[in-house]
Structure 1
Amino acid sequence: MKKHDFSELAKTHKSVRMRLRYSALAHFQEGRSRTDIAKFLKVSRTSVNKWVSQYHQNGLVGLVDKKTTGRPLRLSEAQSLQLIEYINEHTKNDKGGRLVGTDIQLFIAENFGHQYHLSSVYKLLHRLGFSWITSRSKHPKQSLEVQEDFKKIFQIKTILKIPGHISLGKVDIWLQDEARFGQQNTTTKLWAKTGSRPLAVKQQQFEYAYLFGSVCVTNGQSQAMVMPYVNKDIMHAHLKQISMSTAEDRHAVIIMDGAGWHTEDLATDINNVSVIKLPPYSPELNPIEQVWSWLRQHHLANRCFNGYESIVDAVCDAWNDFISDSQRVIKMCTRDWMNLIN
């Protein structure tokens, strides 16, 4: 069997557990007894015997723990599917309220005859692919049918918007939106000692700034402006930013919502830019909304600002950090329905 440098492996491996095993074998290789090794590393002699035996039988692979599947589910496959269907149907209620662990615990007991402890219900839910997450608000007038139709005909809308000599392969898809950041800031979840409730200062002042942001899911480019207010002239200037960053032989199609300053004539004097409006009440169709959440979670939440300039500096730093990784931009904002080349 090939002789390995266990001392070096013990220094470089990321896993503390594996470093301990490599250290034991390094001492064994040097001729120390298994009893001495166990005392020195403060582990049982049985563990040392096991590691040495596993290495002799299978080499380095023998030292790696095998993945375990855990205890099998008490529910049959059919029962698991029935439970998943029940949760999907009852997760939200038009009359208000939500499913909680005790509801699912009762459903399992009544329908399958299994008595689950509440903590076991939560483990079961995770194994079935569910998480306890915050729901997203939607407008009462929102139409899922209209949203699906928009996705299906997005390619046709693009063809109708771009000049006739431009092929779909020469089109860059941009997503655009504005977000307000300021002293009336958000607080977010954070890691802290169990049982504690960390305090985060929430300012009462009203200074704020608007971030006009755009990202290109075709190549990961981005453009942004931070301004004290919003209007059509600023929006037009922002579109010119996108125009100047678009290659000469390409055309930019910009997806945006129907805000009052997003007028139909915004890009009439910009030859290489076209605008496609989202259906009403459909912010989730614009993935740049996730960028605003990312900026808040990673940089802008749970903090105070001295004034407008302080807000602008913080927003610029946050945006620059986000766009520093073009692959992150593309991965976070790309959706299958945006693919123009089938």
Structure 2
Amino acid sequence: MEKLNTTDFRSLARREKNAQKRIRLLALAHFSEGHNRIEITSILKVSRTSVNKWVSNFLTDGLAGLEHKTSPGRPPSLNKTQSKQLATFIEQQSLSEEGGRLSGADINEYTFQHFGINYEPSSVYRVLKRLGFSWITSRSKHPKQSQKAQEAFKNFRLETILNIPGHIALAQVDVWFQDEAHIGQQNTTTRLWAKKGSRPRVVRQQQFEYAYVFGAVCPSNGNTEALITPWIDKRFMRQHLKLISEATLPDRHAVVIMDRAGWHTKDLDDEFDNLTTIKLPPYSPELNPIEQVWGWMRQRHLANRCFANYEDIVEQCTQAWNSFISDIDTVKNLCNRSWINLTR
């Protein structure tokens, strides 16, 4: 144990990088040199109570008693069991099929009814943050969507085996995602960078010129095919599939995943020997990453924009698509899904 009169506090203070501990060492240096507590408080501009505490801590624990100790603070009102119960309740509500949302008042009412704890409004949000929750935008889904059907579809290896010709090995299959987007003068608006507190206005046209973009991506190799048309029907769908068929190497077979639109009929792939179409489960657009491609194009190129006419729409859509496919890593990263790996 260090002794008060044999410790070189001034030397220790010169080497100490922590300002708070340096003050404590200097206080003990003055004390060991014969200054009383009142003189030390005047020299160092600290309280007499602090000097008494530092001397006492040193005499009890040595130099270790001068280390800064973080105050544990007031313990939380909810214990671990109660916190876990509240977190489970909030998570279940966020996944509820009945809709609606929890407000801070709802959560406060729950804690009061179950635990007898009544929070201030601001305290409720601190509790939510401590439990790992945040205020985020929810994603929409169709009320008829089946999670069970989606999970079954993700067993895509079996789905592929059942649909492709028997002589085709899985190692020869290229999986493509395909979809169509409606782009027109009644365009979308999006967020943009602006000064805090401002609310910039952007033009939203009311005319009715539009075009359709057919897009397809093969995440494994980054190949893409697109077609822009004035309307949408089975004839244009076959033209798009023809582009995918022609892009498929002679020793490969293309499996094209698409939604269940009315023009996506069973006979679409009849004329192609190297291509098979597979339909997504009903009401499951989130399984098709091309939906994210449309969002990428709108956010970066097509939103907040005026189109002069159909030709202008075609030109802007072409530039947006070409910008997307210019970086093959972006194509692969945005569109790849683990469940389409047929060789595992």
Q: What is the TM-score normalised by the length of structure 1?
A: 0.72
CA distance in 1, matches of 2:250, 2:83: 55
Structure 1 residues 96-115: aligned runs within 5 Å: 96-108=99-111, 111=114
- CA positional deviation for 1:196: 2.5
Number of residues paired by the alignment? 275
Residue 185 in structure 1 maps to residue 206 in structure 2: no
Counterpart contact for 1:92–1:99, Cα < 8 Å: no
Residue in 2 aligned with 1:64?
none
- CA positional deviation for 1:127: 5.5
- CA positional deviation for 1:125: 4.1
- CA positional deviation for 1:219: 1.3
Residue in 2 aligned with 1:212?
214
Residue in 1 aligned with 2:266?
264
CA distance in 1, matches of 2:309, 2:99: 40
Spell out, residue by residue over 1:14-65, the C-alpha distance to the aligned partner (whole angstroms, 9 max, x if none). xxxxxxxxxxxxxxxxxxxxxxxxxxxxxxxxxxx88xxxxxxxxxxxxxxx
Amino acid at match of 1:148: E
Residue in 2 aligned with 1:300?
302
Residue 231 in structure 1 maps to residue 233 in structure 2: yes
Counterpart contact for 1:231–1:261, Cα < 8 Å: yes
Change (3 A) 1:93 1:197: farther
- CA positional deviation for 1:82: 2.5
Structure 1 residues 235-246: aligned runs within 5 Å: 235-246=237-248
Residue 132 in structure 1 maps to residue 132 in structure 2: no
Query: 78, 86, 90: which is aligned to 1:87?
Result: 90
4+ long deviations beyond 6 Å: none
Query: 5+ residue gaps in structure 1?
Result: 1-48, 51-70
Change (3 A) 1:216 1:72: farther
- CA positional deviation for 1:91: 2.0
CA distance in 2, matches of 1:73, 1:215: 54
SS in 2 for 1:266: helix
CA distance in 2, matches of 1:306, 1:124: 52
Name the Cα RMSD after superposition: 2.8
- CA positional deviation for 1:327: 2.0
- CA positional deviation for 1:200: 1.5
Structure 1 residues 142-221: aligned runs within 5 Å: 142-152=145-155, 154-221=156-223
Change (3 A) 1:116 1:216: farther
- CA positional deviation for 1:79: 4.0
Residue 335 in structure 1 maps to residue 344 in structure 2: no
CA distance in 2, matches of 1:314, 1:97: 39
- CA positional deviation for 1:228: 0.8
Counterpart contact for 1:176–1:256, Cα < 8 Å: yes
Change (3 A) 1:120 1:305: farther
Change (3 A) 1:207 1:129: farther
CA distance in 2, matches of 1:323, 1:122: 43
CA distance in 2, matches of 1:77, 1:310: 60
Query: 5+ residue gaps in structure 2?
Result: 1-16, 19-72
SS in 2 for 1:224: strand
- CA positional deviation for 1:240: 1.2
- CA positional deviation for 1:282: 1.7
CA distance in 2, matches of 1:73, 1:163: 66
Amino acid at match of 1:101: G
Matched-pair identity in %: 58
Residue in 2 aligned with 1:322?
324
Change (3 A) 1:136 1:207: same
CA distance in 2, matches of 1:324, 1:117: 53
Change (3 A) 1:123 1:79: same
Counterpart contact for 1:222–1:323, Cα < 8 Å: yes
- CA positional deviation for 1:239: 0.8
Amino acid at match of 2:271: D
Q: What is the TM-score normalised by the length of structure 2?
A: 0.71
